[in-house]
Amino acid sequence: MSGVRLLIGTRKGAFILSSDGKRSTWDVNGPLFGGWEIYHVKGSPVDANRIYVSQTSGWFGQIIQRSDDGGKTWSTPGGEKMPDPSDPPNGESNKFVYDASEKTGAQLTTHQWYDGTQHPWEFKRVWHLEPSLTDPDTVYAGVEDAALFRTTDGGKTWHELAGLRGHGTGPQWAPGAGGMCLHTILLDHANPQRIYVAISSAGAFRTDDAGKTWKPINRGLRSQYIPNPDAEVGHCVHRIAMHRSRPNVLFMQKHWDVLRSDNAGESWQEVSGNLPSDFGFVIDVNSNEPETVYVVPIKSDSEHYPPDGKLRVYRSRKGGNEWEALTNGLPQSDCYVNILRDAMAVDSLDPCGVYFGTTGGQVYASADGGDHWAPIVRDLPSVYSVEVQTFSS
């Protein structure tokens, strides 16, 4: 029998929502790590019991937590198991290690390291965790200020894939309104050497050699708010998505514009079509239909709420350009929430389940590909991230 587990990160803790394959009723577990900012919660695709959490506080700094039993108990890798997830971390904390061979490096234990210059490189938080497709102990982490790390020991130590910051355009990167964050990591199911990342406000990048070297993949992006609208880097990409069966086909929600690439990011074309606004943060692809794409339009870059106060998910069944509003079960008046960049996910069941969380603390679900929606839970803290684990019991 199939089951679904939603992993929710919020401004004041994490929540785990569980259901069977019918996805009609849900059990809610939480808050875990109550009072802490949980930027991202992500489960391993090869071990349903392995879950990683990015946990942040002004007092203890950035901590990675890990569960090996589906979220029942947690530990700080390298430290002791915590009897209560709301307790502060103890034992040895995670170690992030600067790993550029051409520069003198130092160890990072909380917020910063020295990279051989006069000033520390600021490390504010982990925005996104992406577990390996084959190994539960290997995880990638995107951080702010923008850099990419990898652990191969379950989170005890993390080493930078330094080729990303060192490939040449790094000095041209600048922060967006939410900071200079590496927020998207996509692993190619067909090619283990290929990884895509996106950075606000630098753009999208790709490696074809497992992170040693990188190239910007922003040709076709146009951004009116930068000095050169067609620049190689400097574009505020909000999110990238792909279907696992077609890793060369990418979909992007940018700071204005929804785009598509059919050649692994070598070039992009706009597919905003008839959307009421082409500004937004989330984008995702139906797990069973590679040409079915979902976005949630937001009014503008200054007014972060749905156009006309109507919460509408838009679906294209043709890979873009032609979009239909999905409204059944969603509030269609006086709704002024936002949906942040990591706050939409799909499951792998048939029909495909689609989920998203809002800054108002609601988590909405559709068990039929977006035709009908219902709130699973209301009044959580502001939702930062939504991820899905699908498993057989």
Least confident interval from 48-62, 202-216, 245-259, 378-392: 48-62
Task: Give residue 320's pLDDT.
Answer: 97
Predicted pLDDT at 40: 97
pLDDT beyond 90 at 250: yes
Query: Closest Cα partner for 343 from 236, 238, 245, 259?
Result: 238
Share of the chain above pLDDT 90, in %: 73
Q: Across residues 359-363, what is the average pLDDT?
A: 98
pLDDT of 123: 67
Q: List Cβ neighbours of 382 (8 Å cut-off, separation of 6 or more).
A: 10, 11, 358, 359, 360, 361
Least confident residue range of 39-43, 175-179, 191-195, 376-380: 175-179
Measured CA to CA in angstroms, residue 185 lies from 188, 196, 271, 356, 374 at distances of 10, 6, 22, 19, 29
**Residues 331-353 pLDDT 10s:** 999 999 999 999 999 999 999 99
Q: What is the pLDDT of residues 283-293, one digit of tens each?
A: 999 999 999 99
pLDDT tier, 384 (very low <50, low <70, confident <90, very high otherwise): very high
d(CA 28, CA 365): 14
Bridge partners of 13, per DSSP, are 10
Among 344, 351, 309, which residue's Cα sits nearest to residue 330?
A: 309
Among 17-21, 67-71, 156-160, 308-312, the minimum mean pLDDT is found in 156-160
Residue 265 backbone phi and psi in degrees, to 5: 90, 0
User: What confidence score (pLDDT) does residue 79 get?
Assistant: 62
pLDDT surpasses 80 at 92: no
| Cα radius of gyration rounded to whole Å, the chain | 20
Residue type, 115: D
| pTM of the complete model | 0.91
CB 197 within 8 A of CB 185: yes
pLDDT in tens, 259-276: 999 999 999 999 999 999
Task: Report residue 126: phi and psi, to 5°.
Answer: -95, 120
293-322: per-residue pLDDT in tens?
Answer: 999 999 999 999 999 999 999 999 999 999
What tokens does 317 get?
A: 């069944």
What value does the mean pLDDT of the chain take? Answer: 89
Gap between the Cα atoms of 249 and 255, Å rounded: 20
Give Cβ neighbours of residue 168 (< 8 Å, ≥ 6 apart).
Answer: none
Q: What pLDDT, in 10s, does the model give residues 97-129?
A: 654 443 333 333 333 333 444 334 456 889 999
| 68: pLDDT strictly greater than 70 | yes
Consecutive H or E run containing 5 = strand 2-10
Sheet holding 237-242, edge to edge: 237-242, 250-254, 258-261, 269-270
pLDDT of residue 327 exceeding 70: yes
Alpha-helical (H) ranges within 75-153 are none
Q: How far apart are CA 87 and CA 113, in angstroms?
A: 27
- What's the pLDDT at 226? 80
The pLDDT value given to residue 260: 98
